[in-house]
Structure 1
Amino acid sequence: MLQIGALGLAAGLAGCAQGRSRPTLRAPADILPSLWRRQLPAPWRFEPLSGSTPFQTPWPNPTDLLALTDGWWSSLTPDQLQSVAAPALAARLGALGQRFLEDAPPEWRSKLLPVGVSPYVLVFRREGRALPPADDGWMTLLDPALKGKVLLPASPRLLISLADHMDRSDGLRRLRQAAISFDDRYGLNWLLQGDARVAVLPLQRCMQALKRDPRLTAVLPNSGSPLHWTLLARPAGTAEPLPQAWVSEAWTPPLLTRLLAQGWIPPLPREELLEAGGRIATDLRDLVLPPQEVWLRAWTLYPPTAAEVLRLQQRWSTSAP
């Protein structure tokens, strides 16, 4: 009887443990490198968000941590989040990560932790022996030889920002004329299948293809580039602290070294990145770890104000080819 009672007690305790909800990180499946995501410590678990509006509330219960890129930032409001409360991690940020937070709207600064950054690059597919054009910066996209062969991101705001870095008053209209399509998700497919000659993509999304396919060459303009940020945020309703040891692991070799080799760049001090960058392919090293002055010319697209939205909409409308 005693043994039966003990077994019953053990089963009851196990049932209680299984019944408790586990802290849950949610994000679209492609936001975080799988190499890092798999290191999420117990009892945490990862559950993907899906659909065309993955961050629309109400979020599934429980949702204790969100991972998003800056492209989804405007889907959230500050009151939906609480402080990330991770001062030790914030103190480790390098100049680029610190600048991201300092330049962010004040109501957001304590509620987001930048954990990764990737520059947008020009990815060329070589035809025969022809080499990609010399680095004319983003003006390269207006080369008449590339008209109708340019694959661009689906973000009008990003395209407006690229046009603003071109030495042409009609840069936005000509950029739209050059496009074969506007497609973030399947940009590499367009390029590899021969429909496009050049695509504008975050480096982290094309790094593996650059390693595998000798036809592909990437250029990071010396004039600077828009930045693609990966962010962590804590929903307002959670009592779970951010798993800081998990983030710290991604920011420390050997995992840091492996992530850099995949083109995923934590916003740490440059010295730490250089020291950990030994596994980056030699011909791709300047893309992952460009000179400091290139980072200084890079820019971030913060959520626009209502007035900015109207101005951007008007510019987009009047630039139609």
Structure 2
Amino acid sequence: MGFDLALSRRQLLRLGLGAGVSAALPGLLSSCGTNAPQRLLAAEGGFPQAWARQLPQGWQLQGVADLAQINQRTAALWSLSDGWAAAIPRQQLEPFSLPGALAELAPWAAPVSRLYGPADGAVYGFPWAYSPWVLLLRSRPDLVARSQEGWDLLLDPSLKGKLVLPSSPRVAMALVGNSLDRVESLRRQALAYDERDGLNLLLSGAAEVAVAPLQRVIPLLRRDPRLAVIWPASGSPLTWQLLLRPRGATLPPEAWLKQLGQAPLLEKLLLQGWVPPLPLPQLGQALRGFPTAVARLLLPSEQLLQRCWSLPPLDAQARLDLQTMWDAAAPPA
């Protein structure tokens, strides 16, 4: 039987969470002789410093502001969301041939590692973290008390003009189903479509509820006592983070990848909201010292995880159908 999760700031304060992942990225690590460093490119603020600090000698992390330009830069690794990763032509990638590290991940990460290709297809990515989309509420204890209603809370009349939705129409539609009436109702609620900068609207009080990946939410909870989180019992879309190897690039050391499942790095990642797709007992062991509510948010029941779903790439017709419905559901100008 599933459950709803509502987490308050006080529960995180008892854990002693820090302020979260800094947007500042580590500088150049020492390299071997005069050789150019091996570069790992990631969105600015989109890769955990705790893991970047463990990069081997001769490797460095570099943040990029525009992921659309990432394949125009020389790199040994890319760290991308599954949406960006699945859009890269396979001829621009090398297989991620480190079976020992991949074998340590939970079986349910396998489809993502193949970039949603066939079950017998090549592995092109190393899924290092996943995050569910959740509701972040500010000063709405009445809605928190109705958390069993799940995503239907987004259609509550009191949220008209007070709701921040994901920038992706596909994710927004996945929350309420592909019924034109429901999508129309959802779009009438929206103040903005921006899960990253739109969170500032929530913190400033212009919005009262935002939908965002859990990883981005956790660092905010310590800052504002009016915030609470709901992970609906019906499940959520998942967003993934993967490492990919551009064509001709060197593989990273397997020992560095395996650190994901080892202390103290694993605990540091969990504290920052990054959840590696490891077997549930292994994650449970790492969360033993966490308050129960925090542990359940970072590692919910297996039943709830089974109700969550990833978003594989759509073919051209399916994209057109969704875009057509999204456009048709737009409020009158």
| Residue 7 (structure 2) aligns with | none
Larger RCO (CA within 8 A; separation ≥ 6) = 2
Unaligned runs of 5+ in 1: 1-15
| Residue 26 (structure 2) aligns with | none
Alignment pair present for 1:309 and 2:319: yes
| Residue 164 (structure 2) aligns with | 151
- Which SS does the other structure have where 2:133 is aligned? strand
| Residue 13 (structure 1) aligns with | none
Which of 227, 230, 234 is residue 223 of structure 1 equivalent to?
A: 234
| Residue 97 (structure 2) aligns with | 85
Which of 245, 254, 262 is residue 252 of structure 1 equivalent to?
A: 262
| Residue 19 (structure 2) aligns with | none
CA deviation profile, 1:227-261 (whole Å, cap 9, x unmatched): 110101000121x1222211211221211112112
| Residue 82 (structure 2) aligns with | 70
Alignment pair present for 1:320 and 2:324: no
Contact 1:204 1:262 in 2 (8 A): yes
Quote the RMSD (CA, aligned, Å): 2.2
| Residue 57 (structure 2) aligns with | 42
- Which SS does the other structure have where 1:230 is aligned? strand
Q: Please report the TM-score for the alignment, with normalisation by the length of structure 2.
A: 0.83
Q: CA deviation at 1:163?
A: 2.3
Opposite residue 180 of structure 1, the aligned amino acid is L
| Residue 10 (structure 1) aligns with | none
Q: CA deviation at 1:211?
A: 2.9
> Which of these two proteins has the greater Rg computed from alpha carbons?
1
Opposite residue 81 of structure 2, the aligned amino acid is T
Alignment pair present for 1:114 and 2:127: yes
Contact 1:260 1:280 in 2 (8 A): no
- Which SS does the other structure have where 1:25 is aligned? strand
- Which SS does the other structure have where 1:303 is aligned? coil
Task: State the distance in 1 between where 2:106 and 2:117 align.
Answer: 19
Contact 2:79 2:244 in 1 (8 A): yes
Task: State the distance in 2 between where 1:52 and 1:101 align.
Answer: 20
| Residue 262 (structure 1) aligns with | 272
Contact 1:258 1:279 in 2 (8 A): no
- Which SS does the other structure have where 2:251 is aligned? coil
| Residue 276 (structure 1) aligns with | 286
Percent of aligned positions that are identical:
38
- Which SS does the other structure have where 1:123 is aligned? strand
Task: State the distance in 1 between where 2:273 and 2:285 align.
Answer: 15
Which of 263, 274, 298 is residue 308 of structure 2 equivalent to?
A: 298
Equivalent pairs, count: 299
Q: CA deviation at 1:98?
A: 3.0
Unaligned runs of 5+ in 2: 1-30
Task: State the distance in 2 between where 1:193 and 1:155 align.
Answer: 23
Q: Please report the TM-score for the alignment, with normalisation by the length of structure 1.
A: 0.86
In the superposition, relative to structure 1, how do residues 242 and 145 fare at CA in structure 2: closer, same or farther (>3 Å)? same
Opposite residue 316 of structure 2, the aligned amino acid is A
- Which SS does the other structure have where 2:216 is aligned? helix
Which of 194, 209, 224 is residue 220 of structure 2 equivalent to?
A: 209
Task: State the distance in 2 between where 1:76 and 1:30 align.
Answer: 22
Task: State the distance in 2 between where 1:32 and 1:268 align.
Answer: 18
Q: CA deviation at 1:92?
A: 1.1
CA deviation profile, 1:266-295 (whole Å, cap 9, x unmatched): 001000000001343443222111111110
Task: State the distance in 1 between where 2:47 and 2:33 align.
Answer: 27
Alignment pair present for 1:51 and 2:51: no
Contact 2:202 2:208 in 1 (8 A): yes
Alignment pair present for 1:24 and 2:36: no
Q: CA deviation at 1:97?
A: 1.3
- Which SS does the other structure have where 1:67 is aligned? strand
CA deviation profile, 1:113-139 (whole Å, cap 9, x unmatched): 111011111010015x75635121111
Opposite residue 151 of structure 1, the aligned amino acid is V
Opposite residue 42 of structure 1, the aligned amino acid is Q
